[in-house]
Amino acid sequence: MNKYVERLYNGIWKENPLLVLVLGTCPTLAVTTSAINGVGMGLSTTAVLVFSNVIIAALRKVIPDRLRLPAEIVIVASLVTVVDMLMQGFTPEMYESLGVYIPLIVVNCIILGRAEAYAMKNGPIISLFDGIGMGLGFTIALVIIGAVREVIGAGTIFNVQVMPAAYTPCSLFILAPGAFLVYAAVTALQNYLKMPKAPKVEKKADCCVPAAKEETPAETENK
């Protein structure tokens, strides 16, 4: 597999930051009350993740070891400020919905984790694909969790009514306990799909096995 495609595959499936590495759970549980919130949070985090990976990878040989973590935080904080201002100017409704969790991307474990574990050790191009893969994996997981919670808790998906009029929404799934339940269920499903399949063992029917022939006393004496 091409190394760039592998970084995308790892981030989306094999090393999904939310379902496998269990990073970024705080914004996940807080903002996934709807699918559209998952899209907004996921894409904003992806933008910061991609650009921070590229910048840090490009400057990795210039940044002193003792200033590595402060430099990463300054770069990420600058990018988050830009994303925060863009969302406030162009998508005010989304900005109001996500609230304080946009500025908190600065301390998101996914951002700093990939910067420290990958971007600081690899070149800008491969780090770009790593950021895209991790960001898309995070976004997909957020959208799935948000969609399930929205359908069960409100009867809608992307603010479009999908359940019949007689359906009574279960408000539990819009609250914190519902977030934990859906998150656990999606994680369990992903782990189940990743489990290696046990090989099938074919059993021969007893009728096909020839029965042992009993020896007569004469045949035993001849031996």
Strand 156-157 to 160-161 pairing: antiparallel
Write the pLDDT tens digit of every residue in 68-81. Answer: 999 999 999 999 99
Q: Which two tokens stand for residue 45?
A: 């985090």
Write the pLDDT tens digit of every residue in 89-100. Answer: 999 999 998 988
Does the pLDDT value for residue 136 go beyond 90? yes
Whole-structure pTM value: 0.85
Give the angle subtended at the CA of 73 by the CAs of 67 and 77, to the nearest 5°: 145
- Nearest Cα neighbor of 112 from 142, 66, 72 is 72
Does the pLDDT value for residue 189 go beyond 90? yes
Q: What is the pLDDT confidence band of residue 47, given thresholds at 50, 70 and 90? A: very high
- Nearest Cα neighbor of 47 from 117, 113, 159, 138 is 138
Does the pLDDT value for residue 211 go beyond 70? no
CB of 114 closer than 8 Å to CB of 97 = no
> Which carries the bigger pLDDT value, residue 199 or residue 207?
199
Share of the chain above pLDDT 70, in %: 88
Does the pLDDT value for residue 223 go beyond 70? no
In this structure, what are the phi and psi dihedrals at residue 156, rounded to the nearest 5 degrees? -125, 170
CA distance 210 to 105: 71
Q: What is the pLDDT of residue 35?
A: 95
Q: What's the distance, Cα to Cα, between the start and end of the chain in Å?
A: 64
> Which carries the bigger pLDDT value, residue 59 or residue 205?
59
- What does DSSP assign to residue 11? I
Q: What is the pLDDT of residue 99?
A: 86
Q: What is the pLDDT of residue 201?
A: 61
Q: How many CB atoms lie within 10 A of CB 208?
A: 6
Q: Which two tokens stand for residue 223?
A: 């031996």
- At residue 156, the 3 state secondary structure works out as strand
Q: What is the pLDDT of residue 107?
A: 87
Does the pLDDT value for residue 209 go beyond 60? no
CA distance 145 to 8: 21
Write the pLDDT tens digit of every residue in 12-46. Answer: 999 999 999 999 998 899 999 999 999 999 999 99
- At residue 3, the 3 state secondary structure works out as helix
CA distance 108 to 89: 23
